[in-house]
Amino acid sequence: MSNPQSPTSPEFDVITFGECMLRFSPPAGQMLEQADQLRVDPAGTESNMAVALARLGRRVSWFSLLPDTPLGRWITTRLDSHGVDVSHVIWTGDRVGVFFLEPGTPPRGSRVVYDRADAAVSFLKTDIVDWDIFANARIVHTTGITAALSDSCRIFTEEALQKAGSLGCRTSFDINYRAKLWSPDEAAHTLTPILHNVDILISTMADIELIFNIDGSPEQIIQELSTRFNNEMIILTLAEGGAVGWSEDTGFLRTGPHWVEQVDRLGAGDAFDAGLLYGILQDDLKSGLSFGTALAALSYSEQGDVTWSTLEEVRHLAGLVKT
């Protein structure tokens, strides 16, 4: 359950913005060209995070640009059903981005085919959003995927984080690098000014090494990032599972991985972000790391980008509930 809201507290714990697409995938064991049926799910890194965090009981709002069509309304209806506020969505444009996921098990890998060109969200601009909505949030969160979608999205992302900070919000940003959207050099050029306005920086170690040419132990990488960008908190997820987090108050913290049997790999990083922010909203980075790794592990066991996991399940896996 969410915490009671005091008369002076912000309306939302987290406001997030970005792309939400339609994901189509064939039944397990089938390739796209042989499938007679396709499952459809909402899928977008920020909207995935919003759903996961709302299901943990937090007050979350997500906004984007969507066409006022059955497909656009299908997305908001699905998000709303999980408790995500979608009242700030701007209805405009003609297209919703889509992608096709062909699940693969060894020796065949998975394959993703995108069709997101000219989707409504790619026309996100600074002059069509009421910045005052950020005054109603404790944290404003987004990712590098949004910044990579178009020039206008890049400009919007940078200004949004500046505005959020000026309104007293903490800002959260997951680098979430996607090679199909931009090169490492393009990402470094775009993200460097953005990250100076980020309080809570989240990334995989691999993305940091690729984009910023920083290597070493997680602790060494975090120290270098802190020197460059002066973030309040820095969290790195590790290839072998688990995560390392740092803040000036806590120093370095580490959480280990959970054993998983993968059903669907997409959305795990977004689930991690949700669990992390859940802990941070309680001023507890340690529990945020534990919740993040637990929720990410649970998401691997579910079909679709969006996790349906509950707070009780997360607490149990994180070892916070006695059996």
206-262 per-position pLDDT tens digit: 999 999 999 999 999 999 999 999 999 999 999 888 999 999 999 999 998 877 777
Helices (H) and strands (E) in the chain, counts: 10, 14
The CA R_g of the chain, rounded to the nearest whole Å, is 19
Q: Which two tokens stand for residue 187?
A: 């990402």
Res 7 pLDDT > 60? no
**Lowest mean pLDDT: which of 71-75, 76-80, 259-263, 284-288?**
259-263
Burial class of residue 53 in the structure, from the number of CB atoms within 10 Å of its CB (0-12 exposed, 13-18 middle, 19+ buried): buried
Q: Which two tokens stand for residue 272?
A: 């991690």
- Mean pLDDT confidence for 302-317: 89
Q: How confident is the model at residue 267 (pLDDT cuts 50, 70, 90)?
A: low
Q: How confident is the model at residue 4 (pLDDT cuts 50, 70, 90)?
A: very low
Res 6 pLDDT > 80? no
Kindly list the domain boundaries of the chain, sorted by start residue: 12-317
Res 302 pLDDT > 90? no
What is the Cα–Cα distance from 244 to 218, expressed in whole angstroms? Answer: 7
Res 107 pLDDT > 90? no
Beta strands in 156-223 (DSSP E): 170-174, 200-204
The residues near 117 (Cβ < 8 Å, ≥ 6 apart) are none
What is the Cα–Cα distance from 278 to 274, expressed in whole angstroms? Answer: 6
The model's pTM: 0.93
Using one digit for the tens of pLDDT, what is the confidence trace for 30-65?
Answer: 889 999 999 999 999 999 999 999 999 999 999 999
Contact present, 63 and 84 (Cβ < 8 Å) = no
- Mean pLDDT confidence for 64-75: 97
Closest CA to 143 of 83, 183, 190, 75: 190
Q: How confident is the model at residue 190 (pLDDT cuts 50, 70, 90)?
A: very high
What is the Cα–Cα distance from 146 to 149, expressed in whole angstroms? Answer: 5
Amino acid, res. 212: F
Beta strands in 170-297 (DSSP E): 170-174, 200-204, 233-237, 243-247, 251-255
CATH topology of domain 12-317: UDP-N-acetylmuramoyl-L-alanine:D-glutamate ligase (3.40.1190)
Backbone angles phi, psi at 214, to 5 degrees: -110, 125
Q: Which two tokens stand for residue 301?
A: 């066991």
Residues recognised as catalytic: 270
317 phi-psi bin (left φ>0, alpha ψ -120 to 50, beta other): alpha
Could you tell me what percent of the chain has a pLDDT over 70?
94
- Mean pLDDT confidence for 319-323: 59
Mean of per-residue pLDDT scores for the chain: 92
Res 106 pLDDT > 80? no
Res 266 pLDDT > 80? no
Contact present, 131 and 162 (Cβ < 8 Å) = no
- pLDDT for res 205: 95
Q: At what angle do helices 268-280 and 45-55 cross, to 10 degrees?
A: 50
- pLDDT for res 321: 56
Burial class of residue 36 in the structure, from the number of CB atoms within 10 Å of its CB (0-12 exposed, 13-18 middle, 19+ buried): exposed
Relative to beta strand 170-174, strand 200-204 is parallel
Res 323 pLDDT > 50? no
- Mean pLDDT confidence for 118-136: 93
Q: Which two tokens stand for residue 303?
A: 């079909």
Contact present, 200 and 170 (Cβ < 8 Å) = yes
Res 1 pLDDT > 50? no
